[in-house]
Structure 1
């Protein structure tokens, strides 16, 4: 289009359009304000709901704790006691000094029929802190009148940093109690008459005992399998859930094998020793190798004696110490409290 034609066409444009084009448009900020308001609402919702979610949704709390322990503990509300399955757990006292926290946790049987003085937390407890630490738990006392057990939890912060101003969550899932203890000579076994087992197998150990055997095993990183006796028919069962399954020699060492039933639920365990008939002297095992059965439920343990020749077996009696239980009491107990002196 030539210039003269453009001028002629412009004459056809309505004046109102020219006036409208001359007005400066006003920038609308309603969208930005709207999104700011939405963001503020979301932040408010997060602040208001996270504490509730952390308190009422263990899965959410665990997820948050995995991402940021400090954040998780910040949002975890203080709860000094809780009840479940007829059992009450409560924070009795706390003493914080330097990088060590000592906390007393009481566990009370409200029905008086759940547990006794043999109570054990079965390593099912969990301690959540916003800092790196090590901890252990021991039974410090039991009151039969109130059916209350007291446990001392000792927590030590790493790098010797002082513990100040943080919260701690102690949770518990299982309790063992009503345990039975057996100690004595196993009269059903006469070592001089026993048919020695010479059948062995290779196993992946779940545990190795005895300094000599532990050192040898750790010094051979490629040695994943260890040689033990292969279980045979039951020789005898000194107590329920505990069975002697083999006695024999492996590489010149006497092995006495015991099977503990369903240890993940019962924590059945014990030890085997020999007693010298003439003097009553006890000869402890020099080491042991423990391993699971194929189902991963029952645990076998070979107790190993390095200085007992086969021709001297008639000079000894077999001695055993065993602790068994009927199984755990399950529940969901959790307390959260500030790490400050609640009671000295």
Structure 2
């Protein structure tokens, strides 16, 4: 269907045909259809680097409700899509604004199914600097009373430089009917994953240049990550404190094209390449480095890779932080010729990191309706008592204790058109003889369009 002013108006008129509103409600809706702030189109900055936009989700959305209807800003009308009458009536209008550092954050709408909240947010740079792009993100999202949050890009209006985000928050307590505060202290935009840069050294040359570099085993490691073919072996050594880390040099070395981090130490220990990086603050709080080994044929060598967070940890919001020091360890395959393995550096960088204080407080309406499916299924040794499907999530509620040998609860929701509802995040929480397994959908769904729910491939009877 062609999307234009006429078709959007006709679709909205059709969707509202059964909604009864008095004159005051109609005027309130019309008021929301007018732009609340006018901003000059952002100035484009050209950068000579490869750009990959990290859009976690992209789907057209109607923000319509408010006594039934939430009216979207007119500059977004060409991006709207009608989701169906039932879905439209689920969203709660918020329309609260918080502005700082020249960035306007407007909470447009929200909904909750009890312990999960979905909040739609508009971001706009009121200074005209173009700091809000298609991949703008709340780097430090904050929703009171939640265990974790996930932020997705819904839409971007090029003309006004407005990004629409969907923030989903998962809590261990009841959110519906309570006041919550939604905000952030840091916003990022302009994400780039840049091609590997050859640092001009082989692994053997690093060993020769650094010699027998001092190491220490008693360094405090705040957190670590491990990937690659032999990672299980090294995770055990990390748990036991048997992985050495380098002692820092008196004079760090600069990295090509990087002004937010430098090399604090480097060397080869027991055939493993160690590179210790010092994050210098500023953009170093969010930009990231990684290293890799490449063979003489220009192919990336599959290595076991460790990343160790050392030094002082600096919090950036509820869930984000960075450390002064990070040590990267590359463990090449056994028998690899270190004289042929060249070291390359990769960077993930942002154009903008904007610090401020954005926060709005509002009361969520009561929880949306859910499909409740009794189960009583033995999951060895816990029992899955029931499954609940809401417009924004599917959740398995159980009793007992989940163990490593327990059966997984793979829940899938299929709509009447045959499509499976995709999920952006999943969580498992246990305690007090309860088990909760939840997946949060990438979109709001109409429960009347749910055709099938399966558990580990087995179809469950719908109520």
Q: TM-score, normalised by structure 1?
A: 0.62
Contact 1:265 1:328 (C-alpha < 8 Å) held by counterparts: no
> Aligned match of 1:316 in 341, 347, 350?
341
Contact 2:185 2:355 (C-alpha < 8 Å) held by counterparts: yes
Instruction: Assess, with a 3 A threshold, how the Cα gap between structure 1 residues 126 and 228 changes in structure 2: closer, same or farther.
Output: same
> Aligned match of 2:152 in 139, 150, 159?
139
Instruction: Assess, with a 3 A threshold, how the Cα gap between structure 1 residues 295 and 97 changes in structure 2: closer, same or farther.
Output: closer
Query: What is the deviation of 1:237?
Result: 0.9
Cα distance per residue 1:64-111 (max 9 Å; x no partner): xxxxxxxxxxxxxx8722222321111122232253221122221122
Query: What is the deviation of 1:291?
Result: 1.4
Q: Secondary structure at the match of 2:210?
A: coil
Contact 1:119 1:178 (C-alpha < 8 Å) held by counterparts: yes
Contact 2:288 2:348 (C-alpha < 8 Å) held by counterparts: yes
Instruction: Assess, with a 3 A threshold, how the Cα gap between structure 1 residues 175 and 329 changes in structure 2: closer, same or farther.
Output: same
Superposition map of 1:1-344 within 5 A: 80-113=96-129, 115-117=131-133, 118-123=135-140, 125-129=141-145, 133-141=146-154, 142-158=156-172, 163-178=175-190, 181-194=193-206, 195-202=209-216, 203-210=219-226, 211-212=231-232, 213-218=234-239, 220=240, 223=241, 227-232=244-249, 233-240=251-258, 241-262=260-281, 266-278=285-297, 280-292=299-311, 299-307=324-332, 312-325=337-350, 328-340=353-365
User: In proportion to residue count, which structure has more helix?
Assistant: 1
After the TM superposition, list the runs of 4 or more consecutive aligned residues in structure 1 that deviate by more than 6 angstroms. Answer: 293-298, 341-344
- For 2:210 and 2:107, how far apart are their aligned partners in 1? 54
Q: Radius of gyration: which is bigger? A: 1
Partner of 1:13: none
Q: Secondary structure at the match of 2:337?
A: helix
Contact 2:302 2:333 (C-alpha < 8 Å) held by counterparts: no
User: In proportion to residue count, which structure has more strand?
Assistant: 2
Contact 2:136 2:153 (C-alpha < 8 Å) held by counterparts: no
- For 1:187 and 1:199, how far apart are their aligned partners in 2? 20
- For 2:262 and 2:344, how far apart are their aligned partners in 1? 13
Instruction: Assess, with a 3 A threshold, how the Cα gap between structure 1 residues 265 and 258 changes in structure 2: closer, same or farther.
Output: closer
Instruction: Assess, with a 3 A threshold, how the Cα gap between structure 1 residues 258 and 309 changes in structure 2: closer, same or farther.
Output: farther
Q: Secondary structure at the match of 2:127?
A: coil
CA RMSD of superposed structures (Å): 3.6
Q: How many positions carry a matched residue from both structures? A: 257
Query: What is the deviation of 1:252?
Result: 4.1
Instruction: Assess, with a 3 A threshold, how the Cα gap between structure 1 residues 188 and 257 changes in structure 2: closer, same or farther.
Output: same
Q: Secondary structure at the match of 1:313?
A: coil
Q: TM-score, normalised by structure 2?
A: 0.48
- For 1:330 and 1:231, how far apart are their aligned partners in 2? 31
Contact 2:203 2:341 (C-alpha < 8 Å) held by counterparts: yes
- The runs of 5 or more residues in structure 1 that have no matched partner are 1-77
Cα distance per residue 1:316-341 (max 9 Å; x no partner): 22222212457742322211222138
Contact 1:290 1:300 (C-alpha < 8 Å) held by counterparts: yes
- For 1:149 and 1:277, how far apart are their aligned partners in 2? 44
